[in-house]
């Protein structure tokens, strides 16, 4: 595997291997010596054009716990305003001799474009509204642990609801692709204005009625909705959004007993998710956060641990 | 793929070469090693850690033998050394195996268990892995077969069978827990 | 390739092209003398002879929509390099859009461009004047002064931006009637197609996570503008039609007798939004590449005359303006050198139009709409000697570095296309030879 740009880059066996490996590597988190030597001597640069404390620290820890040398470069304030093209920015970093670039960018497609200009491995840490493949992997990791606790860790036939601003969500796109690969059945729930154009051709069901879709869900993944979307006319007020599409206390009661709640964070408590839902027994939100480092260790090891040319 | 590469042919069932240890002989060797371990470290808190793949069932066999010999229950686990290998970069990324520590190892006498001792690099990796997991009081090595050709200053404390080999030969250990038969077979040709 | 023959260097520009086929299928000889087409029977012995056997002779092509980038971005293109590229594409005249820096919104700016062209151009350069001051879309620019200037501006456009204020559009249409001007609209509703929108809004953009804009942002503006044109009894020209919806509006408007003309770019005749899957900013353009249904609709419209002409919207960009993330890269593609090739490939070779229709779409009508009297007059004796010699069978694999333009944002790189232009003569002077 040379790059991880999209959740669609992985087939079912590859996903399983990454998740299994992440299980093994997650043990490091509880050891006194949080170190594995596998990536010793490798250099990883987190090149973030967009702020993200959580994802960046997650990748940073993942690299460091694998003994790689990790540096963070903040390229915020678009290169356009500095007069430097994206190509020049990434080639300058890569010219220092890095093995992998972990790129987060506010524009869709930037990591893919980068692979045309440099030799290093590229990991997409979130590009615009396009994809966030490691997020979908840690979501799958969290879901799989839950399914195992119920005695059946297969995704086949499991019903996953993804609720919220699908149009602008890279987490949604990656999850749709990854869950399809794993055989789950995905339903997207959103008001019509927040469903992406062409969603009819996606391998998903679509429902604008949250209450109708909820009673058969195995997993409910709530997406953050940005209040700024109101100014684009996507929905009239936050309270109308919450009544229609929020995981309120009432809706929590209609969820199946065994179902769990996920959220990629950061949460707008009270808007798309109530405190009861976020903090209740069904919530796996903190597990998702904990899973992030182990999954990213597994991804970095998968890309950099061996030599794919041999 | 078997992550422990001793020059042992990983998976193709073949019947080339000759059997140097049959099932009964393996069983006797395990029993003898169990007695030796108990005698050498009779006062210590023992932990058996098998190195995947076949070191793990061997470690379980040793534990059973030690229970039968002494009534002692020794905790058994697995220590995967993939991430500590010194040749990671020379191959495509290797999958990571399971590490299971049945108990803490600080202050314990850890018995590393593997099927074949060859270059010694696997054991070197295992020692590094142990170092990141804690501080054992002592580390011993028990192997079913020592085939010589050490590349590092490593030696086994307990050996089932010393088997001088040439580096062009292949030694293959099979155990019923993981393979279709229990035997140690040596054959000509480099299957590694 | 020398652009001058020995007797041109001596000040004599006599060229006899023998045995060519014309667009109507007849065979002819063409005699270029003194900048005009003259009777071949009077050809002098020292005239340069060009064997046109097997070749087509067309009137020099006229591009109603080009971006020359001078003044302001001479690193991307100049009048000299842009018109060299034009000559290579068989063009003898280009209309230069006003969105330079500074904007061409005064008589002085328009005359400045004319003066540069007089010194350096390889084709006739006709400045287009801005509709609004600074292209801000608020106040009318000095349309009348520009029309009266040495630049004789007839076409006005804020292209790059849409004149979305209905009242301003109405005033502009009314005002230019006094001197038979025409307002050329870049139809893109800025609210439906906001500043982030970088492609067609549809299945591909939804999948790729790119913010796009739907065709209705174009057709709704055209629908308004044709009604304003009807109300003001003025001439309207619609730039770069990209969608089936806009074609429907044009058909309706023309049926009512509205004085509206429309253009389509070569890239909208060939390329679809599927080109975006690699996020290559070479394919980022406004209006965007649309799905196949729209490509078919604009082809049909060009064939039946609903869309009158082809115009390149040649938009050179320096590499550092394109080598950005897709959403941040500049909009636009090169077009002058490949326009004829693409039109031959998509329209002539597909038997949607014949050569006569091609001539009207790429020479006669653009000149007429833009008010150029010395272009697009056909290949009759007495007409200015603007001729392009074409080999419709020759083909090549397009190489982006093989270009007279300063820029390299060529969307056809690596594609197999016709390579039709053999030679171009502007006012009897050969400006290109293959």
Distance (Å) from the alpha carbon of A84 to chain B's nearest alpha carbon = 35
C277 touches chain A (CB under 8 A): no
Catalytic residue set of C: 313
Cα–Cα distance for residue pair C400/B91, rounded to 1 Å: 40
Hey, what are A181's tokens? 């690969």
Q: Do chains A and B touch (3 or more CB pairs under 8 A)?
A: yes
Residue A74, both tokens: 């903040």
Q: Is residue C399 part of a domain?
A: no
Contacts of B83 in chain A (CB under 8 A): 36-38, 66, 301, 305
Q: What is the distance in angstroms between the CA of the first residue and the CA of the last residue of chain A?
A: 12
Parallel, antiparallel, or unpaired: how do β-strands C236-238 and C260-264 relate? parallel
Q: Do C210 and A128 touch (CB under 8 A)?
A: yes
Best of A198, A201, A204, A223 to mutate (most C CBs within 10 Å, chain C): A198
**Dihedrals phi, psi of A49, to nearest 5 degrees:** -90, -5
Domain assignment present for C151: yes
CA torsion angle for C291, A170, A174, A23 (degrees, to 10)?
Answer: 170
Predicted confidence at residue C194, as pLDDT, reads 87
In chain C, residues with a C-beta closer than 8 Å to the C-beta of A3 are: none
Q: Do C279 and A78 touch (CB under 8 A)?
A: no
Fold annotation for A133-288: Rossmann fold (3.40.50)
- The CA distance from A164 to the nearest CA of chain C, in Å, is 15
Name the closest residue on chain A to residue C320, using Cα atoms: A85
Find, in chain C, the residue whose alpha carbon is nearest to that of A169: C209
For residues C15 and C430, is the Cβ–Cβ distance under 8 A? yes
Q: How many domains is chain C built from?
A: 1
Across the interface, whether the CB atoms of C327 and A107 are under 8 A apart is answered: yes
User: Reading across the β-sheet that carries B138-146, which strands appear in turn?
Assistant: B76-78, B46-50, B109-117, B138-146, B158-162
Contact state of A86 with C319 under an 8 Å Cβ cutoff: no
Check A20 against B92: CB less than 8 A apart: no
Domains A7-131+289-309 and A133-288 share a fold: yes
Please indicate if any CB of chain A lies within 8 Å of the CB of B98.
yes
- Domains, in order of start, for chain B: 19-88+96-165 (3.40.50.2020)
Which SS3 state, helix, strand or coil, does residue C406 take? coil
**Is C175 within 8 Å of C143 (Cβ atoms)?**
yes
With CB atoms and an 8 Å threshold, state whether C209 touches A201: no
Task: Look at residue C232 and tell me if it is in a domain.
Answer: yes
CATH of the domain at C366: 3.20.20.140
Mean pLDDT estimate for chain A: 94
Residue from A50, A113, A115, A170 to probe the interface with C (highest C Cβ count within 10 Å): A113
CATH fold of A7-131+289-309: Rossmann fold (3.40.50)
Residue range A157-171: average pLDDT? 96
For residue C366, give every residue at least 6 positions away whose Cβ sits within 8 Å of its Cβ, in sequence order, or none: C61, C62, C63, C64, C95, C263, C309, C311, C376
pLDDT tens sequence across A121-162: 999 999 999 999 999 999 999 999 999 999 998 999 999 999
Q: Rounded to whole angstroms, how far apart are CA atoms C262 and C251? A: 11
Q: How many CA atoms lie within 13 A of B86 on its CB side?
A: 12
Would you say residue C258 has pLDDT above 50? yes
C156 is a domain residue? yes
B62: closest CA of chain A, how far (Å): 25
Residue in A closest to B106 by C-alpha: A32
User: Which pLDDT value is given to residue A227?
Assistant: 73
Query: Does the ipTM exceed 0.85?
Result: yes
Q: What is the pLDDT of residues C57-96, one digit of tens each?
A: 999 999 999 999 999 999 999 999 999 999 999 999 999 9
Which subunits have 3 or more CB–CB pairs within 8 Å of chain C?
A
Is B66 strand, coil or helix?
helix
Over the stretch A204-235, which tens digit does the pLDDT of each residue have? Answer: 999 999 999 999 999 999 999 977 666 678 88
Residue A197: pLDDT band with limits 50, 70, 90: very high
In a domain, C53, yes or no: no
* Bridge partners, A273 (sequence order): A247, A269
Q: Is A36 on the interface with B (CB under 8 A)?
A: yes
Stretch B142-153: mean pLDDT, rounded?
96
Per-residue pLDDT, averaged over C241-246, amounts to: 98
**What pTM, to 2 d.p., does this model score?**
0.90
Among B87-91, C9-13, C418-422, name the most confident range.
C418-422
Asked if B1 has any chain A CB less than 8 Å from its own CB, the reply is no
- Closest residue in chain A to residue C208, using alpha carbons only: A130
Indicate the angle between helix axes A285-304 and A53-65, nearest 10 degrees: 50
A20:B95 CB<8 A: yes
Across the A:C interface, residue pairs with CB atoms under 8 Å apart total: 86
Structure tokens at B176: 């019923």
Identify whether C226 is part of a domain.
Answer: yes
Angstrom distances, CA of residue C64 to CA of A196, C215, C335, C361: 37, 23, 12, 11
List chain B residues with CB under 8 Å of A305: 83, 88, 93-94
The verdict on A302 touching B (C-beta cutoff 8 Å) is yes
Please state, in angstroms and rounded to a whole number, the distance separating the CA atoms of residues C172 and C184.
10
Look up the domain containing C256 and give its range. 59-378
Cα–Cα distance measured from residue C207 to residue C154, given in angstroms and rounded to the nearest whole number: 43
Q: Chain C residue with minimal CA distance to A81?
A: C328
**Which residues of chain A does C212 touch, with a Cβ-Cβ cutoff of 8 Å?**
197
Instruction: Determine whether the interchain pair A27/B132 forms a contact, defined as Cβ–Cβ distance below 8 Å.
Output: no
Residue C295 lies in a domain: yes
Across all residues in chain B, what is the average pLDDT? 91
Q: Residue A165: pLDDT above 90?
A: yes
Query: Which residues of chain A neighbour B136 with C-beta distances below 8 Å?
Result: none
The residue of chain A with its CA nearest to that of C191 is: A232
- Domain residue limits, chain A: 7-131+289-309, 133-288
**pLDDT tens digits, residue range C265-322?**
999 999 999 999 999 999 999 999 999 999 999 999 999 999 999 999 999 999 999 9
Residue with tokens 């739907």: C214
Asked if the Cβ–Cβ distance from A302 to B93 is below 8 Å, we say yes
pLDDT tens digits along B57-77: 999 999 999 999 989 899 999
User: Which of B92, B96, B134 faces A24 most closely, judged by CB atoms?
Assistant: B96
């Amino acid at each position: 595997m040379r790059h991880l740009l999209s959740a669609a880059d992985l087939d079912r066996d590859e996903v399983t291997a990454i998740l299994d490996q992440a299980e093994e590597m997650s043990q490091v988190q509880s050891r006194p010596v949080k170190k594995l030597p596998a990536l010793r001597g490798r250099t990883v640069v987190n090149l973030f054009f967009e702020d993200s404390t959580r994802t960046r620290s997650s990748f940073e820890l993942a690299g460091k716990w694998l003994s790689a040398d990790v540096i963070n470069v903040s390229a915020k304030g678009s290169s356009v305003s500095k007069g430097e093209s994206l190509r020049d920015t990434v080639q300058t970093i890569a010219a220092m001799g890095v093995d992998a670039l972990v790129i987060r960018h506010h524009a869709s497609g930037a990591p893919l474009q980068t692979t045309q200009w440099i030799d290093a491995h590229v990991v997409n840490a979130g590009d615009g509204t396009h994809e966030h493949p490691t997020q979908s992997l840690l979501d799958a990791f969290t879901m799989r642990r839950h399914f195992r606790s119920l005695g059946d860790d297969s995704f086949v036939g499991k019903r996953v609801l993804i609720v919220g601003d699908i149009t602008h969500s890279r987490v949604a796109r990656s999850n749709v692709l990854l869950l399809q690969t794993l055989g789950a059945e995905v339903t997207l729930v959103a008001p019509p204005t927040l469903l992406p154009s062409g969603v009819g051709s996606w391998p998903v069901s679509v429902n604008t009625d949250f209450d109708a879709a909820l009673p058969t869900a195995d997993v409910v993944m709530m997406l953050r909705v940005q209040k700024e979307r109101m100014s684009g006319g996507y929905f009239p007020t936050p309270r109308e959004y919450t009544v229609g599409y929020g995981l309120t206390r009432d809706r929590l009661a209609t969820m199946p007993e065994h179902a769990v709640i996920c959220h990629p964070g950061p949460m707008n408590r009270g808007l798309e998710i109530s405190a009861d839902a976020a903090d209740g027994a069904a919530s796996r939100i903190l597990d998702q956060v904990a899973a992030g480092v182990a999954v990213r260790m597994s991804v970095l090891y998968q890309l950099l641990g061996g030599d794919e040319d041999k | 793929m078997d992550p422990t590469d001793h020059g042992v042919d990983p998976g193709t069932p073949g019947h080339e070469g000759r059997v140097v240890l049959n099932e009964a002989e393996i069983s006797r060797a395990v029993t003898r090693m169990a007695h030796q371990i108990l005698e050498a470290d009779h006062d210590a808190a023992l932990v058996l850690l098998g190195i995947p793949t076949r070191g793990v069932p061997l470690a379980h066999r040793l534990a059973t033998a030690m229970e039968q010999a002494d009534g002692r229950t020794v905790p058994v686990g697995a220590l995967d050394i993939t991430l500590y290998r010194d040749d990671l970069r020379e191959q495509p990324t290797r999958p990571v195996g399971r590490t299971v520590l049945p108990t803490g190892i600080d202050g314990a006498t850890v018995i590393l268990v593997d099927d074949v001792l060859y270059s010694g690099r696997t054991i070197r990796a295992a020692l590094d892995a142990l170092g990141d997991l804690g501080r054992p009081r002592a580390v011993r090595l028990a192997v079913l077969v020592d085939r010589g050709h050490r590349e590092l200053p490593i030696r086994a404390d307990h050996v089932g069978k010393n088997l001088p080999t040439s580096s062009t030969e292949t030694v293959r250990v099979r155990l019923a827990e993981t393979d279709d038969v229990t035997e140690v077979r040596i054959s000509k040709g480099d299957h590694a | 390739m020398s652009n001058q023959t020995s007797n041109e260097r001596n000040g004599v520009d006599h060229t006899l092209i023998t045995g060519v086929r014309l667009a109507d299928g007849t065979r002819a000889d063409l005699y270029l003398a003194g900048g005009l087409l003259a009777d071949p029977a009077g050809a002098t012995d020292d005239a340069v002879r060009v064997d046109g056997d097997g070749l087509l002779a067309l009137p020099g092509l006229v591009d109603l929509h080009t971006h020359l980038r001078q003044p302001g971005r001479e690193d991307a293109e100049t009048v000299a390099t842009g018109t060299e590229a034009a000559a290579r594409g068989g063009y003898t005249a280009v209309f230069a859009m006003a969105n330079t820096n500074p904007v061409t919104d005064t008589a002085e700016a328009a005359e400045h461009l004319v003066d540069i062209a007089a010194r350096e151009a390889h084709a006739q350069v006709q400045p287009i004047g801005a509709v609004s001051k600074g292209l801000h879309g608020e106040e009318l620019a000095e349309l009348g002064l520009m029309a009266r200037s040495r630049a004789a501006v007839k076409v006005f456009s804020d292209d790059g931006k849409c004149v979305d204020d209905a009242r301003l559009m109405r005033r502009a249409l009314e005002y230019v009637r006094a001197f038979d001007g025409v307002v050329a609209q870049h139809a893109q509703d800025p609210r439906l197609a906001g500043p982030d929108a970088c492609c067609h809004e549809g299945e591909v953009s939804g999948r790729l996570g790119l913010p796009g804009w739907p065709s209705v942002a174009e057709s709704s503006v055209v629908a308004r503008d044709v009604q304003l044109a009807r109300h003001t009894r003025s001439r309207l020209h619609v730039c770069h039609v990209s969608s089936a919806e806009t074609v429907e509006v044009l058909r309706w408007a023309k049926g009512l007798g509205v004085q509206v003309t429309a253009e389509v770019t070569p890239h909208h005749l060939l390329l679809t939004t599927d080109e975006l899957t690699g996020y290559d900013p070479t394919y980022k353009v406004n209006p965007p590449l649309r799905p196949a249904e729209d490509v078919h609709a604009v082809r049909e419209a060009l064939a039946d005359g609903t869309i009158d002409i082809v115009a390149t919207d040649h938009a050179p960009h320096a590499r550092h303006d394109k080598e950005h993330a897709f959403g941040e890269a500049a909009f636009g593609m090169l077009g002058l050198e490949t326009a004829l090739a693409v039109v031959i490939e998509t329209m002539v070779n597909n038997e949607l139009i014949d050569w006569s229709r091609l001539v009207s779409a790429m020479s006669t009508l653009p000149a007429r709409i833009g008010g150029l009297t010395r272009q697009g007059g056909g290949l009759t004796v007495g007409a200015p000697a603007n001729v392009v010699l074409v080999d419709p069978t020759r083909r090549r694999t397009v190489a982006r570095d093989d270009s007279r333009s300063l820029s390299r944002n060529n969307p056809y790189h690596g594609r197999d296309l016709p390579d039709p232009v053999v030679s171009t003569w502007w006012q009897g002077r050969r400006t290109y030879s293959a």
